[in-house]
Amino acid sequence: MHRSQSSSLLKVFPYLLSDDCWAESDRDYQGNFVANRQTFPSGIKALADYVHAKGLKLGIYSDAGTRTCSMKMPGSLDHEEQDVKTFSSWGIDYLKYDNCNPAGRSITERYTKMSNAMKTYGKNIFSLCEWGRENPATWAGSMGNSWRTTDDISDNWASMTSRADQNDRWASYAGPGGWNDPDMLQVGNGGMSEAEYRSHFSIWALAKAPLLIGCDVRSMSQQTKDILSNSEVIAVNQDSLGVQGKKVQSDNGLEVWAGPLSNNRKAVVLWNRQGYQAIITAQWSNIGLSSSTAVTARDLWAHSSFSAQGQLSASVAPHDCKMYVLTPK
């Protein structure tokens, strides 16, 4: 991929996030994190300065336990304030906080300590990676900006669809400032078809999930870039109303997902989870419209518009979807 392609995509996705293993295996003599000297010889502060100079923001990883999930670096348990002060001094903008090696201490105790440190000393986005084990949607809203509702996602159809369903049950808990997180996007990693990746991106966008690219942006195909940079789909994800869309119809794998948008609009996804071509119909009564309402329907993948009233039908390919924004006339 040409550098210009990579740069244009990064403008849409402004955070660069480092996951586990960025640090040395031990803290320094003062108990501070030390960046891995081989991977980051100039340190994290220099990296943050470089990223910020490009107009981007930098995220980092830690863990609410004694060691991280890889066991290769220290966790932040009992070092919460110290670590947040370190991250702030480096210019970090985002913290992903994992949940391995808890030393027998409760999840709420450990995440509350880091949340308090972040509120006192940090200016970062705080992302809780608790994997949905103890229903964080019901308690994490006062602690951070997003919380994982699922186990880790894998790059295959079964994993992606199950994560979508697990996340859907918590739709009512999401809203501006705090979002359900069904894990990062797998688009472009090679384990699913174009249709399946299009469905993946559409459902994550409708669900107002954090859109985190999980593939190598340096080597992505044009097909992958076209999916990830669809500005009309991204606009649904970023809509100011901030209401998570959800599954509203299901008939043996032929599904309608929908949710409200600002300015009285509706976002609708017709999702075919079967292995054959099928017609899917969204009834107005299931998406919050009266039967007499006429709309302009904008197809976000075909980039075309048409009129509809009472219902919306389309023939959808196997494992594919159609995504629309409906604007009442």
Tell me what the pLDDT averaged over the chain comes to: 96
Q: Residue 2 pLDDT > 60, yes or no? A: no
Q: In the prediction, which pLDDT does 10 show?
A: 72
Residue 91 has pLDDT above 60, yes or no: yes
From 63, 83, 93, 98, active-site residue: 98
Q: Name the catalytic one among 152, 216, 226, 251.
A: 152
User: Is 216 known to be catalytic?
Assistant: no
What number is the average pLDDT over the span 28-46? 98
Confidence of residue 6 (pLDDT cuts 50, 70, 90): low
Please say if 239 is a catalytic residue: no
Q: Strand 94-98 and strand 57-63: pairing?
A: parallel
Stronger pLDDT, 3 or 148, i.e. the higher one: 148
Q: Over the stretch 242-295, which tens digit does the pLDDT of each residue have?
A: 999 999 999 999 999 999 999 999 999 999 999 999 999 999 999 999 999 999
Mean of the pLDDT values across residues 50-79? 97
Asked whether the predicted pLDDT for residue 145 surpasses 90, the reply is yes
Q: What domains are defined for the chain?
A: 1-238 (3.20.20.70), 246-328 (2.60.40.1180)
Q: Measuring CA to CA, which residue among 292, 247, 228, 155 is closest to residue 1?
A: 228
Sheet strand arrangement including 304-309: 246-251, 254-260, 266-272, 321-328, 294-299, 304-309
pLDDT value, residue 7: 58
Tell me, what amino acid is at 104? G
Quick one: average pLDDT of 300-320? 98
Q: Are 173 and 180 in contact (CB under 8 A)?
A: yes
Locus of tokens 């290769």? 72
Tokens matching residue 235 = 């606009």
Dihedral over alpha carbons 12, 14, 19, 25 (to 10 degrees): 160
pLDDT at 8: 66
Give yes or no for residue 122 having a pLDDT over 90: no
pLDDT band at 11; cut points 50, 70, 90: confident
Q: For residue 263, give Cα distances in angstroms to 10, 266, 296, 298.
A: 28, 9, 13, 15
Work out the average pLDDT over 50-74: 97
Identify the helix (H) or strand (E) that includes residue 308.
Answer: strand 304-309
Res 80: pLDDT: 98
Long-range contacts at 266-269 (CB < 8 A, ≥ 24 apart) = 266/295, 266/325, 266/326, 267/206, 267/236, 267/239, 267/323, 267/324, 267/325, 267/326, 268/312, 268/323, 268/324, 268/325, 268/326, 269/202, 269/203, 269/206, 269/245, 269/321, 269/322, 269/323, 269/324
Calpha distance 1→89 (Å, rounded): 34
* CA dihedral sign, ordered 155, 160, 162, 168: positive
Tens digits of residue pLDDT in 196-244:
999 999 999 999 999 999 999 999 999 999 999 999 999 999 999 999 9
